[in-house]
Every structure is written in C-alpha cells, then in structure tokens.
Amino acid sequence: MTENDLNLTVSKNRARIRWIAKTGILSAVAIALMYLEMSLPLMPAFLKFDFSEIAVLLGSFAMGPLTGILIELIKNLAHLPASGTMYVGELANFVVGVLFVGTAGWIYQRHKTRSRAYLAMAAGTLAMTVGASLINYFLMIPFYVSAMGFPMEAIINMTHKAGNLMVSDLKSLILWVFVPFNLFKGIIVSFIVGLVYKRVSPLLHR
C-alpha cells in the first residue's frame, strides 16, 4: 500500500466515523423530541404532534435523503416501547416521515440554494400530507375499525370532544383532521429548519 492509498483509507475512515457520529446525534435528538409529543387544538387525542422531524430534516439536508430516512427509522424503532397503537402508529409515522424528509432531501440535493430548500420543504410537506391522507384512508383507520375493534363512531366522538365538529365519517376525518394536521406539521417544521439550518450547517458538514 502506497502512502497515498494509506492517506485515502484514513480519510475515508474519518469521514465514516464523522457520519456515524452525526447520524447518532441527530437520531438521539429526534428520539427525545418524539417523546415530547403533544395534542393540538381540534385534533383527536390519538393524534400527537412533535418536533422530531426537525432533526430528521436537518440530517436529510446535510447528509442526504438516505441518511434522513435512516434517522427516521431509528427514531421510530426507539419509540416502539411507548407505542399505544400496537406499533402501527410508528409504522405510519415512518412511512409519512420518509415521504417528507425523503422528498425534501432529494430535491435539495439536486441544487443546494435557499430557494431550492424552501421548494424542497414545500414539496415534502405536500408529499407528507397526501401520503398521510391515503395511508389513513385505506390502511390505518380501517385497521383500527376492523382489526382492533375501535368503531368509527368512537373516532368521530373523540374528534367532536376536541371541538372539531366538521367530522362525520371517514372522508371528512381525512379532510378536516389529517390534512390540516400534516400541513401544520410540515409548515412548522419547515419554518424552524429554515431558521436554523444555515447556523447548524457548518457543524453538520465537518
């Protein structure tokens, strides 16, 4: 092995170690933020909001969409012990999160500018909202109703109890709960990432 080959190997190993360290730190932040979930006004109690996608999106922007997807997987695996949905909620959170950070990260990686970042986050928010609506309409809600014996009437009553009287069936649940919830989540996460990314970017690119 020549000196150049040795230097290249050392450089690759250092880069790999830095990637592992940054992925681990962002995963830990995402896990902590996911456990700090909260209810939102007009949203049923089973639908919780958290800020964990901030760390995931930062990772996707700084290290690529595949790293963002890996962080998304790690944080949902770490949340399994606290699952109140027989792990189905974590699966849905992972899929929807992948649509958000994967789409945003893929678009941003093509051309890294501020305007491109905003376009990427808008596209990610749209992908997350559409994906969450389809997943809940065709999979999640039917699963709870049929497999877990949780009647649609109970879900509607939970929504009414939260003050949202627009819901009367599955379609209106998607339209007046899941669509605004995911739009709100995407907008808030995108706004915060837009504020902090340039400040933390030098640390993430070391």
Mean pLDDT of 104-116: 92
Is 6 or 193 the better-scoring residue by pLDDT?
A: 193
* pLDDT attached to residue 128: 97
Is the pTM value of this prediction over 0.85?
Answer: yes
Reported as a pLDDT band with limits 50, 70 and 90, residue 3 is low
- Percentage of the residues of the chain whose pLDDT score is greater than 70: 94
* pLDDT attached to residue 148: 73
* pLDDT attached to residue 8: 58
CA–centroid distance for 59 within its chain: 12
Encode pLDDT of 146-186 as tens digits: 877 789 999 999 999 999 999 999 999 999 999 999 999 99
* pLDDT attached to residue 82: 83
Number of domains in the chain: 1
pLDDT over 80 at 93, yes or no: yes
Q: What is the DSSP string of 53-100?
A: HHHHHHHHHHH-HHHHHHHHHHHHHHHGGG-SSTTHHHHHHHHHHHHH
Is 145 or 28 the better-scoring residue by pLDDT?
A: 28
Mean pLDDT of 17-29: 94
Residue 103, domain extent: 3-204
For the record, the structure tokens of 111 come out as 């051309």
Residue 152 backbone class (left: φ over 0; alpha: ψ -120 to 50; beta: rest) = alpha
Encode pLDDT of 33-60 as tens digits: 999 999 999 999 888 999 999 999 999 9
pLDDT over 60 at 6, yes or no: no
Helical residues (DSSP H) of the chain, grouped into ranges: 3-35, 52-63, 65-79, 88-110, 114-135, 141-146, 152-161, 170-173, 179-204
pLDDT over 70 at 4, yes or no: no
CATH of the domain at 193: 1.10.1760.20
Under 8 Å CB-to-CB from 177, ≥6 apart: which residues?
43, 44, 47, 159, 164, 167
Reported as a pLDDT band with limits 50, 70 and 90, residue 97 is very high
pLDDT over 90 at 29, yes or no: yes
Q: 71 near 28, Cβ under 8 Å?
A: no
Average pLDDT, the chain: 90
Q: 71 near 30, Cβ under 8 Å?
A: yes
Nearest to 173 by CA among 150, 189, 193: 150
pLDDT over 90 at 121, yes or no: yes
